Structure 1
Amino acid sequence: MLQDDKVYLGTSFLTDADGIETSQPEYLNLRLANRHGLITGATGTGKTVSLQILTEGFSAAGVPVFCADVKGDLSGLAVAGEPKDFLAKRAEKIGFADEYEYGSVPTVFWDLFGEQGHPVRTTITDMGPLLLARLLGLNDTQEGVLNIAFKLADDEGMLLLDLKDLRSLLINMDERRKELSAAYGNISSSSIGAIQRDLLVLEQQGAEDFFGESALDILDLMRTTRDGRGVVSILAADKLMQSPRLYATFLLWLLSELFEELPEVGDRDRPRLVFFFDEAHLLFDDAPKILVEKVEQVVKLIRSKGVGVYFVTQNPLDVPDGVLSQLGNRVQHALRAFTPRDQKAVKVAADTFRPNPGLDTRQVIMEMGVGEALVSTLMKKGVPSMVQQTLIRPPSSRLGPLTPAERKAVINESPILGIYDKLIDRESAFEILTKKAEEKVKREEEQREEEDRQREAKGRMKKSRTGFTLPDFGRDDTPSKKSRKKTTTRRSNRQSVAETAMKSIARSVASSLGRALVRGILGSLKSGR
């Protein structure tokens, strides 16, 4: 029943006109697994188990997998399952008993907060303005100012690694508002203030742990073991789900990184990576049209990089039509039709399958039990199979989460232990701008001291010429604030040879950096690998 070039999903049972029941195994073809997929169904109908057995199947076939664990249940993939009567009965019923074995899959745990797995980080520069604007919930005007901030950082050779870098840059932009508006477009203090407030909210949600270095190398998500199994990367997302926008934006960033960094590989006998996007509705809720269009474009093109994307959600209506049409492999669990929207979802789900004359798809969707699903996968030449009502196979790994001690043991044996655990804070925009501000204050203090010395010298000169101190007669020799400002400005514009040389070098570095920074479809940085 298990085949090297396919992932076994379960068994469907057919009854012909004479009442004779036959069965057939249902598979997902590995060669067509990069044509993406969809797992849908109401809460408690078995979506997590379907995700679990797909992950086991991909891993056994040598395909690395990334998935987010929003409830903690998927952590059970890391250990072998425990014998249970209902699992054995399901294996017996679907004709899988002879091949059914309990076992684990090689697992690496990740966590944005570094609590339940290895820290996973990116930099502000790498994420780019489009996704960051989505994360902050900015309007068009504020997003325009954020784009200027990124362009300014590129032009002046400043890296934006973490939140303090971006805050420092925004403060600098506010101080140089008039100068920068002439070069880049209008910059208002109110827009800068709004972005700063949103950054504060983001920081309170824990995003400060996400931005920084060492940044994630996506090749660490594409590991295989010595015996040829694909390593499963599991993102601990139970805490992250408390900040849904951060969760969705992180996964979207990761998807864009895979698209931008991986080379074209053409048709392969199996994917290079399978990416499960759980709670997919969070990606599209309130997303601007331009972002949805770009997601659609990424999903369409990323299959040529050997990546299969599988969306997991309750309702097929959660996924826009342009994306839904590209999801060729479908596992549909039961839906409940209590409201008009539910009834529409049932109709949409039924209509997207290739019809089966012997199956009332719409009725079956509402009547299936836990662990049953309608399955349709791509066959040769990319043609979808006829939809079948399928009993999903039992998983080999544990049903349910690991204990904290078990999770810690897996983390301590991880192949990437120690690589991302230490936070690196190298020189970036914050340090550069702080240094500039300190130098500016120092220059102003030196200028004031020089002016004071000159006034004192002038007073001593007058006294030495007359032999006595001239009466003041109410005249104040101290320059007015206005004249002092003019003097300060004039003197600060004078450059020494060293200053001129340093600015020339800075412009050269900024220019070369600006040429090197190329952004992709979703605005994330392309390294040119």
Structure 2
Amino acid sequence: MSDRLIIAQSKGSTLDLLLPMANRHGLIAGATGTGKTVTLQVLAEQFSQAGIPVFMADIKGDLSGLGQIGGGNIKVAARAKELGLTTIEYADNPVVYWDVFGQKGHPMRATVSDMGPLLLSRILNLNDTQTGVLTAVFKAADDQGWLLLDLKDLRAMLQYASQNAQKLIVEYGNISAASVGAIQRGLLQLEHEGGEHLFGEPMFNFADLMQTNENGRGVINILSAETLHNTPRLYATLLLWLLSELYENLAEVGDLDKPKLVFFFDEAHLLFNDAPKVLLDKIEQVVRLIRSKAVGIYFVSQNPLDIPDKILGQLGNRIQHALRAFTPRDQKAVKAAAQTFRSNPNINVETAITELGVGEALVSFLDEKGRPHPVEIGKIFPPMSRLGPVTDQERQKIIRNSGFYGYYEETIDRESAYEILKEQVERKAGKEIQSEGDHGFDWRDMLGGEGNSKRSGRQPQGIIETVAKSAARTVGGEIGRQILRGILGSILGKNRR
């Protein structure tokens, strides 16, 4: 097996990415329509052929074609002829499709506890005070041993914290009703955008990203992000969570002969937009240290200025497609991009960036000693898989033939914070009912029969209404009403929402 990936051709020679340097991260940049998607496809299938698993988000649906044999595309044939390729060995790739919403791939879930308050605050767009309250609620749940698995657990815990704020203030600080209300509103907005699909069990197993098939080829994991991308914070936070979990769970291995996994982060600017400093520091730490765990991260963005300087400086492998210099910001981006390459006396990089054709790029990879090669203008090789999306029938066939089919599709709802708090309310309601009975209350009233109500002239009151009123007096608030709906639903034989 070769220790290099052949990505592009320049003046008759190839531009190769060395596998031992592939975990030094990279950047693929360029304006819309300049060929970034094809470059992603070529890189993914080359890594797969080298036995390296890949994770990538599919923003437009085009990358799903990695799972089908190529051929029959005029543009691909023209590029092959331009590069002097007499034949192309068209082939498909081992792929697994994932989808937070479970429609175009296996569901991908996290538990609320595993996502943690920092990343969840990012999704909910909380300020520092609200983030502090959310952190306190997480800590209180941990101290009680109450699991936060899905959004109903978090809602229940927020209501518990709000109603017991005076008891919790000494240990956890002030938990104001205003902050809890802001978090609850954020959760409602998240649910409206479909975010509840992300949280629950079974939680995604990160070992499932690092699979090879029976032929030793790395599996390409494709996250369907066509819908998810419409909620930018949710999209960016999910990918950051995946990176963070890989960083936390993988062992240190140093420099290997090739990465264990390559992670492509498309639309990378979404990760950094309006991110608080504490989150940017976390991202920088992950990028800096995760390479020692044999994971390569490749950021994909239209503009190199989208990436903070501290992170951009750690991206050793660069593929820069054309940029357009229509505005002062565009001109600044062109100049900044040109300065990141090791100069080549034969190329005016700043001028070349604006003149590149579709499928052409400025390329600079690291050499054997980790030094960047002088920049070259290269033409990206054509992909061997299909250029374009799969059909719904082809996608569903691959999903059903996957070894994961059936496991992630079945949701699990084990005992957690919601069920524990619900049980507490039920017990308290039962004690109140028993207390009323001890003071002469006729239990036949609860069953809708004749008893004290008939003698007193009151309307009969059944068990459902009694439990509801008693528990409502005891608990009050939104969590009480939610739990009562669960109690009444079970009594009446209805499904709990």
Question: Which category describes the TM-score, using the shorter chain as reference length?
Answer: 0.7 to 0.9
Give, in angstroms, the shift of residue 452 of structure 1. Answer: 5.6
Q: For the residues of structure 2 that align with 1:80 and 1:401, how far apart are their CA atoms?
A: 12
Give, in angstroms, the shift of residue 97 of structure 1. Answer: 3.2
Residue in structure 2 matched with residue 32 of structure 1 by the alignment:
21
Task: List structure 1 runs of 4+ shifted beyond 6 angstroms.
Answer: none
- Within a 5 Å distance, the mapping from 1:418-437 to structure 2 comes to 418-437=406-425
Which residue among 337, 361, 377 is the counterpart of 1:373? 361
SS of 1:145's partner is helix
Residue in structure 1 matched with residue 320 of structure 2 by the alignment:
332
The residue type equivalent to 2:6 in the other structure is Y
> Once the two structures are aligned, what percentage of the paired residues are identical?
58
Which residue among 101, 104, 110 is the counterpart of 2:92? 104
Deviations 1:462-490 (A, max 9, x none): xxxxxxxxxxxxxxxxxxxxxxxxxx9xx
Q: For the residues of structure 1 that align with 2:410 and 2:15, how far apart are their CA atoms?
A: 46
Residue in structure 1 matched with residue 33 of structure 2 by the alignment:
44
CA contact (8 A) 1:10 1:94 kept: no
Q: For the residues of structure 2 that align with 1:246 and 1:253, how far apart are their CA atoms?
A: 10
Deviations 1:486-505 (A, max 9, x none): xx9xxxxxxxxxxxxxxxxx
Ranges in structure 1 where 5+ consecutive residues have no aligned partner: 14-22, 454-487, 489-529
CA contact (8 A) 2:110 2:199 kept: yes
Which residue among 55, 63, 78 is the counterpart of 2:52? 63
Which residue among 80, 104, 119 is the counterpart of 1:131? 119
The residue type equivalent to 2:229 in the other structure is M
Kindly indicate whether residue 430 of structure 2 is the aligned counterpart of residue 442 of structure 1: yes
- Within a 5 Å distance, the mapping from 1:481-520 to structure 2 comes to none
CA contact (8 A) 2:3 2:18 kept: yes
Q: For the residues of structure 1 that align with 2:289 and 2:68, how far apart are their CA atoms?
A: 35
Give, in angstroms, the shift of residue 10 of structure 1. Answer: 1.1
SS of 1:380's partner is coil
- Within a 5 Å distance, the mapping from 1:172-211 to structure 2 comes to 172-211=160-199
Residue in structure 1 matched with residue 80 of structure 2 by the alignment:
91
Q: For the residues of structure 1 that align with 2:83 and 2:374, how far apart are their CA atoms?
A: 19
CA radius of gyration, larger in: 1
Residue in structure 1 matched with residue 494 of structure 2 by the alignment:
none
Normalised by the size of structure 2, how large is the TM-score? Answer: 0.87
Residue in structure 1 matched with residue 2 of structure 2 by the alignment:
4
CA contact (8 A) 2:66 2:385 kept: yes
Q: For the residues of structure 2 that align with 1:183 and 1:414, how far apart are their CA atoms?
A: 48
1:168 and 1:386, CA in 2 relative to 1: closer, same or farther beyond 3 A? same
Deviations 1:295-331 (A, max 9, x none): 0010000001110000001000000001100100000
Residue in structure 1 matched with residue 209 of structure 2 by the alignment:
221
Residue in structure 2 matched with residue 323 of structure 1 by the alignment:
311
Give, in angstroms, the shift of residue 155 of structure 1. Answer: 0.2
Q: For the residues of structure 2 that align with 1:156 and 1:368, how far apart are their CA atoms?
A: 60
CA contact (8 A) 1:40 1:333 kept: yes
Give, in angstroms, the shift of residue 451 of structure 1. Answer: 5.1
Residue in structure 2 matched with residue 495 of structure 1 by the alignment:
none
SS of 1:118's partner is coil
Kindly indicate whether residue 238 of structure 2 is the aligned counterpart of residue 250 of structure 1: yes
Kindly indicate whether residue 312 of structure 2 is the aligned counterpart of residue 312 of structure 1: no
Which residue among 143, 158, 163 is the counterpart of 1:170? 158
Residue in structure 1 matched with residue 66 of structure 2 by the alignment:
77
SS of 2:174's partner is coil
Q: For the residues of structure 2 that align with 1:43 and 1:230, how far apart are their CA atoms?
A: 29
Deviations 1:43-73 (A, max 9, x none): 0000000000000100000000000000000
Kindly indicate whether residue 146 of structure 2 is the aligned counterpart of residue 158 of structure 1: yes
Q: For the residues of structure 1 that align with 2:440 and 2:284, how far apart are their CA atoms?
A: 66
Residue in structure 2 matched with residue 412 of structure 1 by the alignment:
400
1:268 and 1:95, CA in 2 relative to 1: closer, same or farther beyond 3 A? farther
CA contact (8 A) 1:88 1:97 kept: no
Ranges in structure 2 where 5+ consecutive residues have no aligned partner: 442-473, 475-497
CA contact (8 A) 1:207 1:246 kept: yes
Give, in angstroms, the shift of residue 26 of structure 1. Answer: 0.2
Residue in structure 1 matched with residue 223 of structure 2 by the alignment:
235
The residue type equivalent to 1:396 in the other structure is M
- Within a 5 Å distance, the mapping from 1:336-485 to structure 2 comes to 336-450=324-438
CA contact (8 A) 1:65 1:233 kept: yes
SS of 1:382's partner is coil
Residues 410-419 or 272-281, more deviating: 410-419
Residue in structure 1 matched with residue 464 of structure 2 by the alignment:
none
SS of 1:411's partner is helix
- Within a 5 Å distance, the mapping from 1:7-22 to structure 2 comes to 7-13=5-11
Q: For the residues of structure 1 that align with 2:98 and 2:33, how far apart are their CA atoms?
A: 25
Give, in angstroms, the shift of residue 267 of structure 1. Answer: 1.2
Q: For the residues of structure 1 that align with 2:289 and 2:396, how far apart are their CA atoms?
A: 38
Q: For the residues of structure 2 that align with 1:138 and 1:449, how far apart are their CA atoms?
A: 47
CA contact (8 A) 1:411 1:417 kept: yes
Q: CA RMSD in A?
A: 1.3
Deviations 1:155-183 (A, max 9, x none): 00000000000000011111101101122
Give, in angstroms, the shift of residue 91 of structure 1. Answer: 2.0
Q: For the residues of structure 1 that align with 2:437 and 2:171, how far apart are their CA atoms?
A: 35
